[in-house]
Amino acid sequence: MAGKIDNLASRLTVLAEPMRLDIMTIISKAGTCCASDILEHFDITQPTLSHHMSVLIENGLVTASKSGRFMRYSVNKPAVNELKKVFDVLCEDAEAPQPKSEEPVRREKKKDKDKDKKKKKDKKKKK
């Protein structure tokens, strides 16, 4: 279990870099794309993109496949879904229903009604 958590934490660290998160978003929207498609969105060099792509691939967030002379990149959906499950669990815990407590205001109102009834009875007795 610790290995899985370490792997998830490593992937979150990789995605914490804004450029990589942007790259993942571009690839996800396109389905698959090559480096030139990604470079159109940034003012970076090809070696810089290559570094980011290597990190994403090494951490299993992106897959690469050769298509002719180009590399085609796509999001590794199972890896991203594992991260999604972590956030789903965190959100479920945060949204867990809180136990209902009795409202003292209602008890006070009932007590007030009982007092009013008692006063009316006392008044009737005096008459």
- Residue 5 pLDDT grade (very low, low, confident, very high; cuts 50, 70, 90): confident
* Domains in the chain, CATH or no CATH each: 2-93 (1.10.10.10)
**Residue 46 in tokens:** 């090809």
Over the stretch 109-122, which tens digit does the pLDDT of each residue have?
556 666 667 777 67
How far is 81 from 100, CA to CA, in rounded Å?
A: 34
- Residue 127 pLDDT grade (very low, low, confident, very high; cuts 50, 70, 90): low
* pLDDT at site 91: 87
Over the stretch 6-45, which tens digit does the pLDDT of each residue have?
888 999 999 999 999 999 999 999 999 999 999 999 999 9
* pLDDT at site 108: 53
CA distances, 31 to each of 35, 77, 79 (Å) = 13, 11, 15
Residues whose CB falls within 8 Å of the CB of residue 95, separated by 6 or more in sequence, listed in order:
none
pTM exceeds cut of 0.75: no
Q: Answer with the residue of higher pLDDT: 94 or 64.
A: 64
